[in-house]
């Protein structure tokens, strides 16, 4: 059984490992909002417990045991987010902090019943996949909106940025999960993208386009 803090480290390492094979001390420190020295201490502890593989100065990676524990936390986080949005009418930009607390509640029974109560959802309010109770989940095939070409179209099925500011911005533009979009132009000057959605022309910055995930349905 891991402490609240250990769980947070495992979760952060898990997410960082999605980008780089081995995870750097500084990267963890930034995510946890702590100092690199503290991270080194905790990494040693996690290594002793067999949750991470660690070679001094070479970064860490999760062991199978560590990954499994991390996925369990991710599962809880995402299920609670669904609960907050579907049942308590939170908006998708309001759920992160509360789910961050709820994910640490320790009761296998609670999570299985919650899963059932929510109808065994496959993805959370941001389109992220929810692992099943065995830790398995479909690696969904997302394409970043920024990588589409003029004429391409698809459906918004996720975001890769969960900040409230970003999500509120999308909300205001009407770019929510499930929306159909088509690329109509890409501006040479600033790389901003012109898209057609709900019969309206919308211009989004490169930065925004990077964090919208599309399940492509090819060219129209």
Partner DNA sequence: AAAAATTTTTAGATTTACCTAAAAATAAAA
Partner DNA sequence: TTTTATTTTTAGGTAAATCTAAAAATTTTT
Q: Which residues contact 185 (CB under 8 A, 6 or more apart)?
A: 150, 193, 194
| Residue 68, token pair as written in the block | 């499994």
Dist CA 201 CA 150 (whole Å): 14
**Binding residue count for DNA, defined by CB under 7 A:** 27
20 binds DNA (CB under 7 A): no
88 binds a second copy (CB under 8 A): yes
Pick from 150, 155, 156: nearest CA to 212: 156
Out of 19, 57, 141, 200, point to the residue binding DNA (CB under 7 A). 57
Cα dist from 186 to 58, 150, 152, 192, 197, whole Å: 41, 7, 12, 6, 15
15 binds a second copy (CB under 8 A): no
Rg (CA), the chain: 19
The residue among 31 and 155 lying less far from DNA, judged by its C-beta, is 31
27 binds DNA (CB under 7 A): yes
91 binds a second copy (CB under 8 A): no
59 binds DNA (CB under 7 A): yes
**Binding residue count for a second copy, defined by CB under 8 A:** 18
220 binds DNA (CB under 7 A): no
3 binds a second copy (CB under 8 A): no
Dist CA 187 CA 198 (whole Å): 21
Give contact residues for DNA (rule: CB under 7 A): 3-6, 24-27, 32-45, 54, 56-59
């Amino acid at each position: 059984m891991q402490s609240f803090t250990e769980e947070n480290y495992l979760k952060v390492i898990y997410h960082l490992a999605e980008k780089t094979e081995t995870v750097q001390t500084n990267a963890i420190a930034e995510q946890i909002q702590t100092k690199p020295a503290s991270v080194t201490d905790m990494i040693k502890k996690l290594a002793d417990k067999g949750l991470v593989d660690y070679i001094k100065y070479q970064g860490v990676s999760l062991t199978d045991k560590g990954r499994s524990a991390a996925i369990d936390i991710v599962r809880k986080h995402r299920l609670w987010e669904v609960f907050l949005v579907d049942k308590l009418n939170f908006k998708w930009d309001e759920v992160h902090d509360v789910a961050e607390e709820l994910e640490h509640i320790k009761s296998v029974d609670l999570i299985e019943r919650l899963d059932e109560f929510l109808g065994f959802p496959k993805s959370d309010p941001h389109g992220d996949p929810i692992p099943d109770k065995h830790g398995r989940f479909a690696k969904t095939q997302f394409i970043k909106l920024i990588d589409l070409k003029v004429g391409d179209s698809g459906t918004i099925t996720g975001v890769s940025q969960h900040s409230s500011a970003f999500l509120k911005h999308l909300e205001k533009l009407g770019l929510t999960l499930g929306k159909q979009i088509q690329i109509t132009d890409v501006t040479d000057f600033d790389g901003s993208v012109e898209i057609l959605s709900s019969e309206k022309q919308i211009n989004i910055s490169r930065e925004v386009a990077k964090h919208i995930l599309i399940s492509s349905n090819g060219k129209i």
